[in-house]
A and B are shown apart, each in its own frame.
Chain A
Amino acid sequence: MEDKTMPVSAAGEPEWVSAKRRDALASFSSAPYPVMRYGLNITTDLGELGLENLKAQRQKPPKVENMNKDIIIADLFTALKEYPDIVEKHLFRSMGFADCRCPNCITNVIANHKLASFHQAAWSRGLLVYVPRGVTAGEPVYADLHTEGSSIDHTIIVAEPRSSLSFLENLSGEGKYRSGVVEVFAGDGSRVNFGSMQNYGRGLVNFSLKKAIIGRDANVEWVTCDIGSGITKSDVSSVLNGPGARTMNRGIFLGSEGQHFDFHINAIHSSPHTESYLLTKGALNDNAKAIYRGLVKIAREAKGANGYQKADTMILGGRAEADPVPYLEIDNNEVKCGHATTVGQIDPDKLFYLMSRGLTEIEAKRRILEGFFEPLVRLLQVEHTQNEARRLMHGGIIRGLGKEMEASV
């Protein structure tokens, strides 16, 4: 790599880290750029990104708020020095977990995937959160990850057996490209609640990969909220890796004016009596587009597993499109599994009901949409983030509806 490109190694990092970067760089160079397809005839080619020539920008280290002295929270470069064993044991370990085999999924072909390889070669900011055995972290850990220009952020969360943690990342900023990988290792009997609030500027391409390896009787809950960025490619995977492991995955997205979202939500049941529940709610204005692929995969060993997925999308503007594609891959007969998807408009009876009480059409639509998202917003662990999510959605909804109003006058 040349000088002007992203740095491939950081000063003073151990050789094993640099070696991983070199391996990843080799796969990056040989892999093709992914092309995202929406429905039958809409495609987004990421080749134009030109990651080879991406300018490196120094990012502020993650700003983290938490008072609990029993847990470790460290910048990842610092952690490489102070907690090398923890980092070495976990860095990119989740990527090795074989899981999804559907053609568009990147979680299992990570080594050959352009964007993921780029991330592994060039990560330049990171965070380690480590909760020791049996420790309850208490107040949610709040991490502010602001991006100026481009950033490549790696987060490792380790919840040792019977510990519990709530974590919330706030993703904001303007720029060209952001790559974020989150690895969650939930030990036996642990509980992890992971929230994510994403509101990047509309010019940014957002590549996000989140993966949890969930042990026996452990529980990982995801709540993700995507409002910003021009293009979002987001994969969230839960590998239910021990008997009785559970996951709940709730995702929200709200898009307008040419935004594209490509979500891939996976629950991989590799052990018996595991449970997954995947729920996505989105609304699209203008000509925004979203593709949603949900996969519940139940392995032969996963007797008595239980998986359910549901995706509801509201189309607000005439040219917005949503394409929900649920997959169920079941290799075991003794399981329960189901799915439901809806794509629709605002229910005219709900609209009439609210308008009959004096609300204007736009106020009524706004209420209905906010109500549509509210049950999920409530699950964000930090109250000011809930309010922030409401505020952002309010803005996004008003923006979309405002246009519609102008058009209808």
Chain B
Amino acid sequence: MNDFPFTIVCPHCHTENKVTARSGENVVGEFFEEVQDFHCAYCGLKIGEVLSAVPPQTEIKEQGG
């Protein structure tokens, strides 16, 4: 199980989001992930899709951090 975080700017409200997706839940291995939507932590709208084994988590990225 691997978490891989990345950042993306919401096209709707321009909030910078930190998104965390995850590959291979438990031991099943490759091709396990499904294409999942992720939503902006501020405005709630869909901002993208990613291959992940769980629904990706988003949080507002702290300014300057």
A, B from the same assembly: no
Binding site for A on B (CB under 8 A): none
